[in-house]
A and B are shown apart, each in its own frame.
Chain A
C-alpha cells in the first residue's frame, strides 16, 4: 500500500485504546520532531475506531505505522513520546528502522493464521466516509442482489451455509424464508446489536469500523424478505457506535441510498436506530421487541415466533450484526466462494474476542474449524506471564468452560456444543491457574441473576438460590450435598425457563462441575481454594522455596504490607494486608499462597 505514497506518513492508532495509552501525546511528539528537523511528513490517524475495532491488537498501544515512500509500512508498538526522536532520527531520516522497538514477530504471527473477511474494511477505510466504502466493493452486493428475485436471494444465502452469528447458529436463509412466507405487507427487519455478553465486542467493532457494510447487509435482507422498515437495536453503552451508524444512515438518506426508492433499485427501506437502555435480557428477541415498543424488556413464550407475530404484531426477522455483515460478502463473492471456507457444518469465518489471561488480547477472525489451541497459542501468543492454561470460557454467560483437554476442539457450532460450551457471540475468556472455577461460576450466575427480567419463577428464584449456594461455597461454608442440589436445580431451570436467558444461565455451573468438580470439592471438604482466588479462604504467605527475591510483590502492594530488600525474601505483614491479591497476581513464580 505504501508503493504509491509520495510523502512520509506516520499513522497512529487513536481509538479508545490508543487514546487511553497516550496516542495524543505521541502524535504531538511526532509533529514537533518533524518541525524541528524540517521534515515534510503527514502525521495521521490510522484508525479512530475505538479499541480493538482496528486491527485487534490495541493491548499493545500506542501502535504507530511509519510509511516511507516506496517502502512497506513498519509497525512500532508501545510507543511513548520519549521514543519519538529516536524513531525519527534513525528510521525516517536514516532509513534504518529501530529494530528494538519494532513490533516483534508476534505481530506477524497475530495476523498470519487469521482470515480477515468481515474485518477487511475495519481499520482500513475511514468508517465515516461513504466514498471509501464505495471504493472497497461497497454496495455492489445489494446491486447484485436486486438482479435476482427475492426468493433467489434467499436461496443464495441458504446455499452459502451461513448460520446466525448471534450464538444460536440457526441457518440464516431458512430464517429469512419463514418471515418472507408470512402473509402481510407490513414486515419488520431488526438488527440485534445489543451485544451484552461480558467479554465480547466484535459487533461494536463492526458498527464502529464498517457501518455501511451493516446497512448493505440489512438492505439485502430487507429486499429478500420484503420489509420496508428496519430497526437497529444498539446498546446505549456504545455511544460511538450509535454516532457512527447514525451518521452512515443519515448519509444514505441524503444520497438516496435509503428511503422510498433505494439507489433507484426499485425497493423501499427506512431504517432507524433504537438505543437500548442497559438490560442484558433485551438481547433475547422477544424482549428486544418489547423494548422497541417502549415496554419493559420482558420476554414472552414462543410460539408465536417473531417471523409470524413480531414487532407490533407484524412478521419480523431478527439477525445479529455479524450475520448481516457476512451477507454483504456472500453477495460480493458468491455463495460458492463463501461455502468453501470453514467446516462441513459451519461456513465462513468467525470473529472471536479473546480476553483474559492471554498475551495478545483482541479481536481475531479465523475460518471456522480452526482449533481452540491455534487461536490461543498461535494467534494470541499463549498465556500471560508463562503461567499454565486452565480453561477457556466460550459463549459468555450462556456458554461453558473448557479445560485443557478440550483445546483441540474446533471452533464451530457443533464441536463446541459437543464439548459442553457453545459458540455464543464469540467471546473467549482465557483463564490460568490463578482463576478459581467456582468463583467464575458464581460470577456468571451473579450476572444472569441480576439481569433476569423476573417474569418467570425458575429464572427469578432458581438462579438466586443457586447463587446463594455458590456464594456459600466460595466463603468456605459449603456443605455435603450442595453439588447434587446445584446439578438438580440447573437441569430444572434449563427445562422450565421461559426464554434463552434462563435456559442457558446454569450452563457455566454445569460445565465447571463437569470438568472442575475437584475444585468444588476442595472448597467444600478441605475449605481450601486451589487457585488461591477466593478471598475468605486465603492466607497470604510467601513460600520460601519458590521466592526468587525479585521484589515484584513489594512494588505492587498498595498498602505497604510487603517488606522486602534487595536479595532478601519478601515477608507479608498480616496486620497491614488487606488481602487485595495484588501481590499474588503479580508474582511470576507462584511464591505467594
Chain B
C-alpha cells in the first residue's frame, strides 16, 4: 500500500483535469470544497501535486487545505481500490450484527478500515450510515447496495468481485 502511494506521489500527474475543475469554481464564494470534491472525482483521490496547485490558484495556505482534507471523511490522499466496499456501521446495522460483517471482510481481504489491498483491487471502509436501515445490515460495493447481509452472504459477494476483473 505505502509503496503504491509513494510511487504515485513521485509520478508526474496530469494537472489538466485539476485545472479545469479550478476554472469551473474559481469565482464561486466558498470554492475550496467543491474544487477538492471535483479533483477527487477526477483522479479518484487527491494527489499531492494538485494540493499545491489549488493552494497557488485559490490563494490559500496548503496547511488550510490539508486541514480540510483530513477533517472530512470523504477525502482520500492515497489511491483507492477499484472496488470500494463500504460496510455500514449505523445503529440499525450494529444491532443486527454489522461488526461480524466487518470482521468477515477483514478475514477475506486481509485489510481493515480505510485500507486498500496491494493490487489496488479492494478498499474497505466502515461508514456511519448509508440510509438504507430498512435492509440492515447493509454493505455497498461501489454503487451497488447489498441488504440483509450475513457472514455467508458477505463471503459470496466478495468472491463474486474477486472473480471479476
Contacts and interface: CB of A to CB of B under 8 A. Distances in A.
A355 B29 CA distance: 39
Contact of B132 (A17, A297, A356): A17
A187 B64 CA distance: 27
B72 A297 contact: yes
B128 A435 contact: no
Contacts of B95: 355-357, 429, 431, 435, 440
A418 B88 CA distance: 32
Interface in A8-25: 16-17, 19-21
B136 to A, nearest CB: 6
Query: How many A residues touch the partner, as a band?
Result: 35 or more
A177 B160 CA distance: 56
Nearest to B128: A198
B131 A237 contact: yes
Contact of B30 (A16, A292, A355, A393): A292
Nearest to B127: A237
B34 to A, nearest CB: 8
Interface in A228-260: 236-239
A198 B90 contact: yes
Nearest to B147: A20
B136 A361 contact: yes
Given A238-B131, A558-B152, A296 B71 contact: yes
Nearest to A19: B145
A199 B90 contact: yes
Contacts of A294: 30-33, 68
B91 A51 contact: no
Contact of A361 (B73, B91, B129, B133): B133
A292 B32 CA distance: 9
A504 to B, nearest CB: 15
Interface stretch (A35-43, A117-125, A275-283): A275-283
B151 A582 contact: yes
B117 interface: no
A323 interface: no
Contacts of A278: 72-74
A214 B90 CA distance: 26
B135 A236 contact: no
Interface string A346-378: 000000010111000111000000000000000
B8 interface: no
A355 B133 contact: yes
Contact of B131 (A201, A393, A440, A582): A201
B133 A580 contact: no
Interface in A265-294: 274-280, 291-294
A477 to B, nearest CB: 19
B129 A197 contact: yes
Contacts of B37: 236, 275, 277
Interface of A: 16-17, 19-21, 50-52, 56, 58-59, 195-201, 204, 236-239, 274-280, 291-297, 312, 353, 355-357, 361-363, 393, 396, 427, 429, 431, 435, 440, 443-444, 447, 451, 453, 556, 558, 580-582, 585
Given A51-B134, A581-B97, 14 more contacts: A16-B132, A19-B145, A196-B128, A198-B93, A198-B128, A198-B133, A278-B74, A297-B71, A353-B133, A353-B134, A355-B92, A355-B134, A356-B95, A558-B152
